[in-house]
Structure 1
Amino acid sequence: MTEQDFADLVRDTKLSQTNRDAARLVLVENMKPIDAAAASGISKQRLNQILTVVRTAEERRNETALLEQVRRGGSASISDSVAVVEASYAVAVKTARDQYGDDTLIQTPNPNGRAVGEIVGRTDFHVVQAVGRSAVVIHDLAKLDRAPAVGRNVAIDYSKGMGVVSDRTKTQDRGGVTR
């Protein structure tokens, strides 16, 4: 990785300068992690955590670039298409964490269950539904009968892995009875 690539990558992370310098020793200078940790005065475990933050940022950047390429009509292989769907999921997770914090419980829908709450985010292939305090369900749009709009309060009932979206009004209780 070049110095410029590294600088671009860590710009939006919340890593301290000391932590960035430690990661740079490994990723730019190709120093062994144990040596970089010692040179930086941090533990090897902490350096591994820092490297995970940087590598996750790199994965997100690559996924976003691939998603943009496909959006602009660029060609994509099957593996690229899978990567685009995975990138969409990653963006959905980021949306949830940006809104509710890093400790947000990210759930997948129960294939024979129900999720009720407001749609708080959407990507090309997923919607994010708030289902409780710091809990969201990320739904695959391909498995829903229709795409619910952001801001709508909906119930999504699954049967055999496919979901049916029903609009809810604010006057409905959990039993679905209108007051």
Structure 2
Amino acid sequence: MDEKEFKSLVSGTRLSSDSREAARLVFVEGMSQIEAAQQMQISPQRMNQIASAVRREQEKKIAITDRGDVVSVSYAIAVKEARDLYGDDLTLNRPKDDGRSVGQVVSRTDFHLVQFIGKDAVVVHELAKLDRVPPIGRNVVIDYSAGRGSVVDRSQEKVRGGHSR
């Protein structure tokens, strides 16, 4: 994206000037989020929040112009966020109708959730198919049955004797 497009896009956000500069490094200059975070001396988590805010603005603008493709665009943005976090060699998975994924929630778009499951792999879940939306940073189990996902927060899951797993 060029400078003009970027300025138009971030004008709809509440990002500070420093946050906008960090986002500009990623979206205009093509830096990785990690490189931009280091240059701007912010945490990788904060950089991810900034990039997510800009991507949400992208989604909104796209939704206004073409609502029919907004879910597809949300998926594409979720994939881009995952690749920005873990690299292009990342394995992308969609959930199986009757399957399970275990790992940390690392990103979210308006319609998708990205869960890191280890070994350079993520699962991209549709929010509409989940019984609830876990917050970013939580380690969760998502069990699917008949295409619907049930989310269990592993930090709150209990085993016999009252010890958490």
Give the TM-score normalised by structure 1.
0.55
Q: What residue in structure 2 maps to residue 81 of structure 1? A: 67
Identity of aligned residues (%): 48
Instruction: State the secondary structure of the residue aligned to 2:97.
Output: coil
Q: What residue in structure 1 maps to residue 84 of structure 2? A: 98
Instruction: State the secondary structure of the residue aligned to 1:142.
Output: helix
CA RMSD of aligned residues (A): 3.1
Inter-partner Cα distance in structure 2 for 1:134 and 1:66: 26
Q: What are the ranges of 5 or more consecutive residues in structure 1 without an aligned counterpart?
A: 15-62
Inter-partner Cα distance in structure 2 for 1:66 and 1:150: 20
Per-residue deviation at 1:90? 0.8
1:115 aligns with 2:91: no
Alignment of 1:1-179 (within 5 A): 12=29, 67-69=59-61, 74=64, 80-169=66-155, 178=164
Q: Where in structure 1 do 4 or more consecutive aligned residues deviate above 3 Å? A: 10-14, 63-66, 170-173
Amino acid at match of 2:83: R
Inter-partner Cα distance in structure 2 for 1:116 and 1:125: 20
Q: Is the 2:141–2:152 contact (alpha carbons within 8 Å) kept by the matching residues of 1?
A: yes
Q: Label 1:160 to 1:98 Cα distance change in 2 as closer, same or farther (>3 A).
A: same
Inter-partner Cα distance in structure 2 for 1:95 and 1:107: 14
Q: Label 1:108 to 1:68 Cα distance change in 2 as closer, same or farther (>3 A).
A: same
Tell me which of the two structures has the higher relative contact order, counting C-alpha pairs closer than 8 angstroms and 6 or more residues apart: 2
Per-residue deviation at 1:87? 1.0
Give the TM-score normalised by structure 2.
0.59
Amino acid at match of 1:153: N
Rg (Cα) greater in structure:
1
